[in-house]
Amino acid sequence: MNMYNENIKHNPLKTKEDLTKALYDICNPLIPLLKEQIPGHLHLGTSGSVYDENAREVEAFLRPLWGIGPLVTTKSEEGTKLSNYFVEGLIEGTDPKSKSYFGKVHDYDQLLVEMASVSLSLILAKDTFWDVLNKDKQDNLYNWLIQINDHVIPKTNWLFFRVLVNIAMKKCGREWSKQSVSDDLDSIDSYYLDDGWYFDGYASQIDYYIPFAMHFYGLIYAKTMETEDPKRSILYKERASVFAQEYKEWFSADGPSIPFGRSLTYRFAQSAFWSALAYADVEALNWGVIKGIVMRNLRYWFRSDIFSKDGLLTIGYGYQNLNMAEGYNAPGSPYWALKTFLVLAIPGGHAFWTSEEEDLTFTQKSVQPSPRMIVCHDKSGSEVQAFTSGQHSSEHAHGDAKYEKFVYSTTFGFSVPKGGLSLKQGAFDSCLALAECDGHYRSRFGSESYKINQDYIESVWKPWNDVEIKTFIVPLTPWHIRIHVINTNRILDTAEGAFSAPAEVGTSYCFKDKIFYKFSNKVTGIVDYNGDRKVVIITPEPNTNLLYPRTVIPTLTSRINKGKHILVSAIIGGVNVPNDFKCDQNPIVEIKENCITILFNGKEIVL
């Protein structure tokens, strides 16, 4: 590990100066590449993406501006030297006569995405990125950015990119389209749900794009346009304040947030929303609480194996991992995470910086209808689990694994498949997988219906047209109960997976109707209440779990015939487990003809 990795790993992240040092440690490894490559482009790796090499290089060059724009609002010699590379790149990249020219854009172009970081830099630090340019260079930058008004973009969070470009041009005194801004914000407002939540253009896709895109950009707009558009600015601040009350539940007391949904390679962008709150001066929670969420999340990530040996951010989540990536993840994509450094644009005297960190106050069970979840903390707050039904993403890689498992965990993560030919390739943790006795397994992908209740979640799904499954998930932290009522016209193999756990560091405990795997002070395991399923430890393909390169999954397997079947199991995902953990202290489940009764810790739930 090089000095940049070591510096950031041991950075206490207590002050604005600490966070500034962290940004330099992330950006400084880019400087040798900036010096040797053509201005405005960065070639950081050889992996591909759905967009071409030019766009990959421009993306890698422009994304660090998410941090550098806020950085240079405080003047320093080091900051000026760093920003000069990017000013030069912008000059060359927007000059049609330069070999570095970014190029003309097209409908749905990735380059439209990358205009957002340039626009934020112009909004925050016009003196650094605009005023130093002569008239011709300003014209070039304007002409390249304003192309976005003449092209079709997805009706998703992308609409905010056009908004940001236009308000940046307004700030720079250039022609802009008030009508485009109004139309795009009207569309975005139509995606609003309730409790501060939006959906991201697709009604069943409610993920991290809500905090680090919809609210992040909305708060930038609210701050920038406070005078010109006070009504909408107030609205966006109010929505963000409401959203914060539920979103805080996604974070553990120790810093990590729930791995869920797409674009997880943006890692510490998870806390960008909290930085945007501070930038817009919205005290949705005590400033000490907001500061604590940001800093603990950054400490968690900077201690994780997310950098290459050269100090570059890598594609992956808990470690370098292309298997979990989407098609739009290129070598420079992870620098989107620098959005969290927006907090550097806040003066040092702001209460965010002067407040002492406060512990996160959490709810042990938070029912969140808008994102279709029940989010649970254990008593210590160090483990968070999100139980979900009704989310769906059909467009991006591993949509079934990223949106439709039964539960997602800050400690155990979740897995994505490497293939579909076996349980080993499928890595079916936290779900029920089924196959027609041929090894081709499938899990939940799309729900016919779903319902988020106070004590449980239910959904109806069809892995085949003639197989209907009604699933009930009952959180009982650190346990949860799964009940599947299956009506099938096919003979099926079933596999019910518990949480994943890191391989070779723990011990398995196998019984006739239950199996556990204990590692460190943590445990995962599964109990069969039917009494006829086989207990096994599956060892999936490496690089399937987002947190651990090699894992095991305690699993129940069976073969069922045509007809009606009820499968009942209890799954544990526990942390801070004592050495004398008792394998027989699972919830009591009584299965009767017309109902199922669950008893645990003095509570009774009847389904």
- Answer yes or no: is pLDDT of 583 > 80: no
Calpha distance 352→347 (Å, rounded):
9
Calpha distance 305→19 (Å, rounded):
19
User: How many CA atoms within 13 Å lie on the side-chain side of 194?
Assistant: 4
Q: Which helix (H) or strand (E) holds 69?
A: helix 65-71
> Which range, of 64-68, 235-239, 586-590, averages the lowest pLDDT?
586-590
What local confidence, expressed as pLDDT, does residue 193 receive? 97
* Lookup: tokens for 385: 């689990």
By CB neighbour count within 10 A (0-12 exposed, 13-18 middle, 19+ buried), where does 466 fall? exposed
Average pLDDT of the residues in 452-471: 97
Pick the CATH number of 365-606 from 1.10.3720.10, 3.40.50.1460, 3.40.1190.10, 2.70.98.70: 2.70.98.70
Contacts of 160 (CB under 8 A, 6+ apart): 116, 184, 188, 213, 214, 217, 218, 221
Task: Identify which of 570, 385, 372, 533 has the alpha carbon closest to the alpha carbon of residue 459.
Answer: 372
* Lookup: tokens for 571: 């799954």
Q: What b/e readout covers 48-87, taking b as 16+ CB neighbours within 10 angstroms? A: ebebeeebbbbbbbbbbbbbbbbbbbbeeeebeebbebbb
- Answer yes or no: is pLDDT of 570 > 90: yes
- Answer yes or no: is pLDDT of 1 > 70: no
What local confidence, expressed as pLDDT, does residue 338 receive? 98
Calpha distance 380→252 (Å, rounded):
9
Contacts of 36 (CB under 8 A, 6+ apart): none
Contacts of 251 (CB under 8 A, 6+ apart): 257, 270, 293, 296, 297, 360, 362, 384
Residue 308 · residue 38 · CB < 8 Å: no
Residue 568 · residue 473 · CB < 8 Å: no
What local confidence, expressed as pLDDT, does residue 591 receive? 83
* Lookup: tokens for 456: 């449980």
Average pLDDT of the residues in 302-315: 96
Calpha distance 349→431 (Å, rounded):
49
What local confidence, expressed as pLDDT, does residue 284 receive? 98
* Lookup: tokens for 579: 């050495």
- Check residues 395 and 453 and name the one with the higher pLDDT: 453
pLDDT in tens, 198-241: 999 889 999 999 999 999 999 999 999 999 999 999 999 999 99
Calpha distance 79→473 (Å, rounded):
51
- Answer yes or no: is pLDDT of 5 > 90: no
Helix (H, G, I), strand (E, B) or coil at 128: helix
Calpha distance 39→88 (Å, rounded):
7
| Residue 354 CA, distance from chain mean position | 29
Share of the chain above pLDDT 90, in %: 92
Rg of the chain (C-alpha set) = 25
- Check residues 592 and 86 and name the one with the higher pLDDT: 86
pLDDT in tens, 456-465: 999 999 999 9
Average pLDDT of the residues in 509-518: 93
- Would you place residue 72 in the very low, low, confident or very high pLDDT band (cuts 50, 70, 90)? very high
Residue 208 · residue 200 · CB < 8 Å: no
The position carrying tokens 């603990």 is: 296
Average pLDDT of the residues in 107-135: 98
Task: Give the start-end residues of each E strand in 303-446.
Answer: 365-368, 373-377, 384-388, 407-409, 432-435
Residue 5 · residue 307 · CB < 8 Å: yes
Mean pLDDT (the chain, rounded)? 96
Share of the chain above pLDDT 70, in %: 100
Average pLDDT of the residues in 546-566: 97
Calpha distance 138→141 (Å, rounded):
5
Answer whether the bond into residue 334 is a cis peptide, omega within 30°: no
* Lookup: tokens for 136: 């011709």
Q: 50 φ, ψ to 5°? A: -75, -10
Q: Where in the chain is the domain with CATH 1.50.10.10?
A: 3-354
- Answer yes or no: is pLDDT of 394 > 90: no
Average pLDDT of the residues in 179-200: 97
Q: Where in the chain is the domain with CATH 2.70.98.70?
A: 365-606
Phi-psi region of 252 (alpha: psi -120 to 50; beta: other; left: phi over 0): beta
Q: In what order do the strands lie in the sheet with 467-476?
A: 449-452, 457-464, 467-476, 479-488, 563-574, 522-528, 514-519, 506-510
Calpha distance 155→37 (Å, rounded):
35
Pick the CATH number of 3-354 from 1.50.10.10, 1.10.287.180, 3.40.50.2020, 3.40.1830.10: 1.50.10.10
User: How many CA atoms within 13 Å lie on the side-chain side of 549?
Assistant: 7
- Answer yes or no: is pLDDT of 547 > 70: yes
What local confidence, expressed as pLDDT, does residue 39 receive? 97
What local confidence, expressed as pLDDT, does residue 321 receive? 97
User: Does the global pTM surpass 0.75?
Assistant: yes
- Answer yes or no: is pLDDT of 265 > 60: yes
Residue 279 · residue 223 · CB < 8 Å: yes
- Answer yes or no: is pLDDT of 410 > 90: yes
- Answer yes or no: is pLDDT of 602 > 90: no
Task: Identify which of 182, 85, 80, 66 has the alpha carbon closest to the alpha carbon of residue 124.
Answer: 66
